Amino acid sequence: MGRFVARRLLQMIPVFIGTTLLIFLMVYSLPGDPIKSLFGPKAADPATVARLRHEYGLDKPLLEQYWNYISGLFQGDFGQSFTGRPVADLMSEAFPVTIRLALLAFGFEVIVGIALGVLTGMRRGKFLDQFVLVLTLIVISIPVFVIGYVTQFLLGLKWKVITPTVQDSENLGQLMIPAIVLAALSLAYVIRLTRTTVGENLRADYIRTAVAKGLPRKRVVGVHLMRNSLIPVVTFLGTDLGLLMGGAIVTEGIFNIQGVGFTLFKAIQTSEGPTVVGIVTVLVLVYLLTSLLVDLLYAVLDPRIRYA
């Protein structure tokens, strides 16, 4: 177990270097000159451009720039955005907001998704099952931004139940609706995934054995059935947490939440290398950590899986 974790942690180093280098190269190859575009439609004055280039180290060869960036990173310095603000500041503003939103959405997915999945899986063909199936089908087939705009229009503008945009990103109540919108699609998948595996396992031999042994129903469902059924769901949820953090651009835009997605989007638009690489690096780390966590959870759920 310990060796497994250590090996996985060591694997992160090449992944980390590879991704940062790749992203660095990609941002660098974006068309347009980030410094000149600071001047807007006006002609950039060459003396100032040259000095700004020098300040951000853009006048050096690409690999040297990358080296400077990485060595800065190991000293805890994420570099500077072209507006003169430290990238670390930008990230410390955006990440808490997104983490709150993502965790809310994630919690919603886990609790509602698994609960509904187990319920429908155990009552296949009944009314609740049919109803939830249709509902999830609708959610899956409608793009997220439609769900977002419709919710905003109905709840915020027409019925005035919520404020149309989030006024205060620390207010969990206001984040609730955006979180539900953000979670909607994955929620539908979680329900369907859970439903299928629960349905399958219900007919498995070991469950029949457990029932035949006269175990109480609570124990059969709660321990025997759930543990085995959750393995694919946990895999899905693990990758989804990363997705919720980086991919919330649409929801963040609709509800004006100043999170990671939009910061990243704007940084790409303005070719702000340090900001893009910084944010993506953190996102990559989140992915790596969650997938490690998922792998470790397997062992808890299925004792047959052991790590050497």
> Interface residues with other proteins (CB under 8 A)?
31-34, 36-48, 50-52, 55, 83-85, 89-90, 93-94, 152, 156-157, 160, 163-165, 167, 169, 252-256, 258, 262-263, 269-271
Q: How far is the CB of 205 from other proteins (least distance, A)?
A: 54
* Longest pairwise C-alpha distance within the chain: 85
Place of tokens 């155990």: 122
Place of tokens 């124990």: 219
Contact 105, 92 (CB under 8 A): no
- Nearer to other proteins by Cβ, of 198 and 257: the residue is 257
**Residue 105: what residue type?**
A
Hey, how many other C-beta atoms are within 10 angstroms of the C-beta on 29?
A: 9
Handedness of CA 203, 205, 206, 209 (dihedral sign): positive
Q: How far is the CB of 224 from other proteins (least distance, A)?
A: 48
Q: How far is CA 61 from CA 47, 52, 65, 272, in A?
A: 20, 16, 6, 17
Q: How far is the CB of 158 from other proteins (least distance, A)?
A: 10
- Nearer to other proteins by Cβ, of 79 and 113: the residue is 79
Q: How far is the CB of 249 from other proteins (least distance, A)?
A: 9
- Nearer to other proteins by Cβ, of 197 and 263: the residue is 263
Q: How far is the CB of 183 from other proteins (least distance, A)?
A: 20
Q: How far is the CB of 52 from other proteins (least distance, A)?
A: 5
- Nearer to other proteins by Cβ, of 129 and 252: the residue is 252
- Nearer to other proteins by Cβ, of 77 and 295: the residue is 77
- Nearer to other proteins by Cβ, of 44 and 207: the residue is 44
- Nearer to other proteins by Cβ, of 89 and 200: the residue is 89
Of the candidates 54, 53, 57, 35, the residue with the CA atom closest to the CA atom of residue 44: 35
> Residue 63 and residue 15: Cα distance in Å, rounded?
18
Q: How far is the CB of 170 from other proteins (least distance, A)?
A: 10
Q: Show contacts of 35-38: CB within 8 Å, 24+ apart.
A: 35/82, 37/270, 37/271, 38/82
Q: Exposure string (b/e) for 141-154, b if CB count within 10 Å is 16 or more?
A: eeebeebbeebbee
- Nearer to other proteins by Cβ, of 10 and 43: the residue is 43
Q: φ, ψ for residue 80 (rounded to 5)?
A: -120, 140
Q: How far is the CB of 280 from other proteins (least distance, A)?
A: 19
